[in-house]
Structure 1
Amino acid sequence: MSGIYPTKKRKKLMPMQDRSTIIGIIEMRSKGFSYLDVQARYRIGSGTITRIMKNFDAMATTLDELKLMEAGAVVDAFFPPERRRRKDTALPDFVKIHERMLDMGKRADLSLIWMDYSEDNPDGYRLSQFYKLYGEYLAQISGNKRSSMPVERIPGQKMFIDWAGDTPELLVDETTGELSKVHFFVTTMGFSSYLYAEAFLDEKTPSFVAGTAHALTFYGGVPEQLVPDNCKVAVSKHTKDELILSSAYSDLEDYYDVVVLPPPARKPKGKPTVENHVRQIETHLIERLKSKPYVTLGEINRDMAKLVDSINDKPFQKRSDIRHSRKRGFEKYDQPKLRPLPGLPFLTCDYRSVLRIPDNYHVEYDDHYYSIPSTMVGKPAVLKATMSEIRICDSDNRLICKHERSYKTFPLYITIDEHMPAHHAFNKELDARDGGYYRRWASTYGQSMETLIDRILRVPKHEEQAYRSCAGILHMCTDVPRPIVIESADKCVEAKVFKYSHFKKVLGQARQSCSHNEGQDAIGLPDHANIRGKDYWK
């Protein structure tokens, strides 16, 4: 091997995963997904999966408790800092690997060979680096690194998703005559290439999520994986080491219990099935739709559905193709492998990213302001709005709180008391109470207290100005024995002094007197035969 591809040592960091990957691996394994499914979803080796599951089994922590932990604490629990060190890793034997690829012929799959390699080398090269090194080896022996491997399509495994690049102006405004662009959402099943397409006014998150849900309903089942394009509405971050889905697609993934697996970024060959059909739609279907103007999206989608049906029914040119046509291939091979749909369709939301929770701990939506715990001030969040509910989640898509959506003009601020700091809650409590409230509260301490509070409320020109004095007096009595409170109120009424400061003074004297008397009783002499007592001298 040294003559072709010299052996050398490479420094490589110990493979460490982020919080979302760790929790996602545990969830998938808990639901019965195989190692291959987990590896395809998170692009990691089986050794990393084994290590994470082994550590999780050894922890006295449930999955729900793990989700509540901070991201850094989760990573440190599975990948302690002291074990993250550099090490030397020898290159794989690409001579033997290439010979094995040739022996496999049409069944050649480098990912399967990497899985065997990772079993023997748990801390070896990850999948993306393994591919890169093998490509460099091919370039050295053949001068060409553009080799493509045959891909074995598995029925019911993948649904590919994309937008068509062509956005023709098909919609006509009947009033102004202006033309509007239309965007085409396209999906295909991986094995049969069974096609679905739908027109939308834009390519924003609600349209992309709705298109995905409609496609699954059209197919009548759920595949193992959804393979969307690396657009921002589906993927927040996708590098060779990390995949983070958007909140919308993360919700969809959980609802349908499906794995979302975008292809490597900037590599359209990762989903050639849908790419080919997008070209067909742009060349044939969209050109036909341009023949007449439309007033509504419904009209476009009705005509497009007929054209899509004709494409799906059309026999393949190659007569030996076992699918015969897209529709027949879907019904015979893909459809039996799909899992049943949930009972209800996925409820689409309007997603709003909040970069920073403002100091007043309320986030705005549709001219209303919804509260969030004040401890979240300064942190990012995601707001999800449906027709009836407002949900607010943290940056890891964990639910923080929810509100019933308001359509009334007032109040503008929708606040849950538990979200307020203590001093804000106290001020709100004062503002929400009237004179009748304080009179009823005072009556629980007897007639004198009720008279005292009533007279205090009557002193100012407006009784609202006395609310704080009344609240102060009544809160002052909370931890005081009831007889002392009644006695203090009686003294204030007898003296005809109805002031907060006077009651505070009288109550303090009463409490001090009570404490002194209790102390005297405690100092009394005990009974004993050697103590004669005061009655002896009478």
Structure 2
Amino acid sequence: MPVARISMRQIIEVLRLKYESGLSHERIARACGISKGVVGKYVSLAKVQGVTWPLPEGTDESRLEALLFPATTPPTRFAEPDYFQVHQELKAKGVTLQLLWAEYVERHGDKAYRYSQFCHHYRGWRERQRRSMRQVHRAGEKIFIDYCGPTVPVVDRATGEIRKAQVFVAVLGASSYTFSEATWSQRLPDWIASHQRMFAFFGGVPELLVPDNLKAAVTKADRYTPSINETYADLAAHYRTAVLPARPYKPKDKAKAEAAVLLVERWILARLRHQTFFTLAELNKAIADLLPPLNQRPFQGRSESRRSLFEGLDRPALRPLPATPYVYAEWRKARPGIDYHIDVEKRLYSVPHALVGLVLDVRVTHNAVEVMHKGQRVALHPRHGKDRFVTLTEHMPKSHQAHKNWSPGRFLNWGKDIGPSTQAVVQMQLLGRPHPEHGCRACLGLLNLSRRYSRDRLEQACARALAINSTSYQSITSILKQGLDQLPLPLSEDETEMTELPSHTNVRGSHYYH
């Protein structure tokens, strides 16, 4: 006959009053607010289970409950399924619980559960597992990516300076097969390079990449429409996969990554804590040596390992690597100015002049600058070179192409041939501009003025422009149109001071001091 359950605190009080105070069962019942029969049953139960008073040291309510009510496995005529194996089988594409139940029935016949009980027992088993274990990830579907919280110190042999290395972790959803390495930072170049080595380690590409919302992956975190970093999206497009960041404040989305990070911290970083590393390569060699035993270690209570599940589930389902390696590129926005050039790291590159004022996408690789408009490439330049300005003739307006052979040196020689004032104005036009093209335009305007006015007049107009400190093309044009070049030049301040003063009775002459 089953014993009526009361709280463990009441049971302890019953035993104390019985053996320490020596009260009768009737008095114990009244003191504890229970029946006399219940008191007798718990006293008898304690004797049967060998529980004595005082209780053994360290025995709390949970321990006492385990002693009084030891777990027993109820007899059953049904064959229990291997729920772990069921869970792993469900990760294969097209496999359902209905199919697995049918195979289970074929093996066990009359001893098999009905389908509803089979599903009920499996779901109960799954709920008892860790959060990362409860989720069902399809084979080859997802790679979860994150960084460990702890860093690893790397000592510079020459200076003794200590740098903190970040630890990158990636794990396949279905098999939990794990990759890890150290980098100097979590910034975009290291993030992308770690992904390239991760794909090489797994030997294939999943359908989805699931990173946390760090800046190298997500430029704007949002629960529904996160903005993916354009370089990261470019990498995903090259490998023919997609990026699906974990939702902010949704830990279930990245439970697999959190479990892998914890595993790497305990299995790898904890083992390396007493070692001193002098280069990043040394640290990565040590991590690489510990990855095989981590992945080949059987799951607790199982014969399967991450490696065996990877070979059976994920590896066959991964997409092949692309034929060509990914070329690292950063994406930027740029708006060309009126000189139809964009600025990339203080170097100017031309674009078609019709795109002046529009916002363009710029893809910058190690060797090239590629300019895109509405997804179409409109300009491609080598990134490095001696000149600050990189200009293609086909990007220039027709009028500029006609004069593209006019160099600054040629303009200066032309101005010198006209006269010293014209040469000075040309030099000011070329040197006083943010871009040579601006100065060349003004010089071309002066060249056109020399065809409409005589050389002498142009020289006098430039002299007046220098005198009044207004040497723009518009100013010189105005001087010529109004004929001001034919008037005497205004005196400078020094010349005005040196001019003889007019005669006046109050002005003392030199004879005054004799």
Answering whether residue 353 of structure 2 is matched by residue 370 of structure 1, we say no
Q: How far apart, CA to CA, are the structure 2 residues paired with 1:193 and 1:344?
A: 28
1:415 aligned residue (383, 387, 391): 391
State the AA in 1 paired with 2:148: A
- Which of 301, 306, 325 is residue 318 of structure 1 equivalent to? 301
1:200 equivalent to 2:180? Answer: no
CA 1:397–1:189: 2 relative to 1, 3 Å? farther
- Quote how far apart the aligned CAs of 1:431 are: 3.2
Q: Which residue of 1 aligns with 2:273?
A: 290
Q: 1:403 aligns with which of 381, 387, 392?
A: 381
SS in 2 for 1:298: helix
**Residue of 136, 145, 151 corresponding to 1:167:** 151
- Matched to 2:368, the amino acid is E
Letter in 2 for 1:391: E
Partner of 2:311: 331
Asked whether the equivalents of residues 228 and 262 of structure 1 are also in contact (C-alpha less than 8 Å), the reply is yes
Q: Pick one of 157, 160, 167 that aligns with 2:141.
A: 157
- 2:325 is matched with 345
1:118-157 superposed matches below 5 A: 150-157=134-141
C-alpha distance in 2 between matches for 1:306 and 1:255:
30
C-alpha distance in 1, partners of 2:137/2:327?
31
Question: 353, 357, 363: which one pairs with 1:384?
Answer: 363
Partners of 1:102 and 1:251 lie apart in 2 by 48
Given residue 379 of structure 2, which amino acid in structure 1 is its aligned partner? Answer: C
How big is the shift at 1:198? 1.2
For residue 288 of structure 1, give the secondary structure of its aligned residue in structure 2: coil
What letter matches 1:153 in structure 2? Answer: H
8 Å CA contact 2:334–2:342 kept in 1: the answer is no
Residues 413 and 226 of structure 1: is their aligned pair in 2 closer, same or farther, counting only changes over 3 Å? same
Q: Output the TM-score relative to the length of structure 2.
A: 0.52
Q: Is the 8 A contact 1:107 1:152 kept in 2?
A: no
Following superposition of structure 1 onto structure 2, how do residues 499-538 of structure 1 map, counting pairs within 5 Å? none
Q: How many Å apart are 1:245 and its aligned residue?
A: 1.5
Deviation at 1:155, TM superposition (A): 0.9
Query: Computing the radius of gyration over CA atoms, which structure comes out larger, 1 or 2?
Result: 2
1:431 aligns with 2:415: no
Structure 1: give runs of 5+ residues left out of the alignment.
1-36, 38-100, 109-146, 439-455, 477-496, 502-538
Contact 2:205 2:241 in 1 (8 A): yes
The Cα of 1:416 is off from its aligned counterpart by 2.9
CA shift in 2, pair 1:300/1:148, >3 Å: closer
The one-letter amino acid of 1:388's match is: N
* Counterparts of 2:238 and 2:315, CA distance in 1: 20
* CA–CA distance in structure 1, aligned partners of residues 418 and 403 of structure 2: 22
CA change 1:335–1:202 in 2 (3 A) is: same
Structure 1 residue 150: Cα displacement: 4.2
> For each residue in 1:237-278, what CA deviation from the matched residue of structure 2 results, as whole angstroms up to 9, or x when unmatched?
342442331111111121111121112123232021111111
SS in 1 for 2:182: strand
Counterpart CA distance in 2 for 1:352 and 1:260 is 17
Contact 1:167 1:182 in 2 (8 A): yes
1:400/1:202 CA distance change after superposition, 3 Å: farther
Answer whether contact 2:132 2:259 (CA < 8 A) is retained.
no
Select 2:211's aligned residue among 225, 228, 232: 228
Show the counterpart of 2:202. 219
Residue 50 of structure 1: aligned partner? none
TM-score (norm: length of structure 1):
0.50
| One-letter amino acid of the structure 1 residue matched with residue 269 of structure 2 | I
Q: Runs of 5+ in structure 2 lacking a partner?
A: 1-92, 94-115, 124-130, 427-442, 459-514
CA distance in 1, matches of 2:344, 2:333: 11
8 Å Cα contact 2:143/2:208 also seen in 1: yes
Counterpart-to-counterpart distance in 2, 1:461 and 1:342: 65
Paired with 1:268 and 1:400, the residues of 2 have a C-alpha distance of: 43
Provide the secondary structure at the position in 2 that maps to 1:384: strand
Helix, strand or coil: the match of 1:289? coil
Contact 2:351 2:378 in 1 (8 A): yes
Equivalent pairs counted in the alignment come to: 318
The whole-number CA distance in structure 1 between the counterparts of 2:372 and 2:248 is: 27
**Partner of 1:482 in structure 2?**
none
Preserved contact between residue 182 and residue 201 of structure 1 (Cα < 8 Å)? yes
Q: Secondary structure at the match of 1:182?
A: strand
Pair 1:282–1:358, CA change in 2 (3 A): farther
Tell me, in whole angstroms, the C-alpha distance in 2 between the residues paired with 1:317 and 1:149: 12
Give, in whole Å, the separation in 1 of the partners of 2:448 and 2:119. 85
Deviations 1:153-202 (A, max 9, x none): 2111111111112123x211122101001011110111111111111101
The 1:290/1:354 distance shift into structure 2, 3 A limit, reads farther
Once the two structures are superposed, residues 266-308 of structure 1 have per-residue CA deviations (whole angstroms, 9 ceiling, x without a partner) of 3232021111111122233122223222222111111100111
Q: Is the 8 A contact 1:160 1:273 kept in 2?
A: yes
Distance 1:178 1:458 in 2: 63
Cα distance, 1:234 vs. partner? 1.4
User: How far is the alpha carbon of 1:220 from its aligned partner?
Assistant: 0.7
Change (3 A) 1:102 1:433: farther
Instruction: Judge conservation of contact 2:218–2:227 (CA < 8 Å) in 1.
Output: yes
Work out the CA distance in 2 between the residues paired with 1:154 and 1:364: 46
Contact 2:175 2:309 in 1 (8 A): yes
Q: Assess if the C-alpha contact under 8 Å between 2:174 and 2:314 holds in 1.
A: yes
How far apart, in 2, do the equivalents of 1:422 and 1:275 lie?
A: 61
Distance across 2 between alignment mates of 1:468 and 1:379: 27
d(CA) in 2 for partners of 1:347, 1:181: 27
Aligned-residue Cα RMSD (Å) equals: 4.4
Deviation, 1:236, is 2.3
Describe the superposition over 1:71-114 as per-residue Cα deviations: whole angstroms up to 9, x where unpaired: xxxxxxxxxxxxxxxxxxxxxxxxxxxxxx99975888xxxxxx
Q: Residue 317 of structure 1 aligns to a residue in which SS?
A: coil
One-letter code of the match for 1:291?
Answer: H
- 1:305 paired with 2:288, answer yes
1:298-335, Cα deviation, whole Å (9 max, x unpaired):
11111100111110111111327xxx001111111110
Give the 5 Å matches for 1:248-259: 248-259=231-242
Asked if 1 retains the 8 angstrom alpha-carbon contact of 2:334 and 2:343, the reply is no
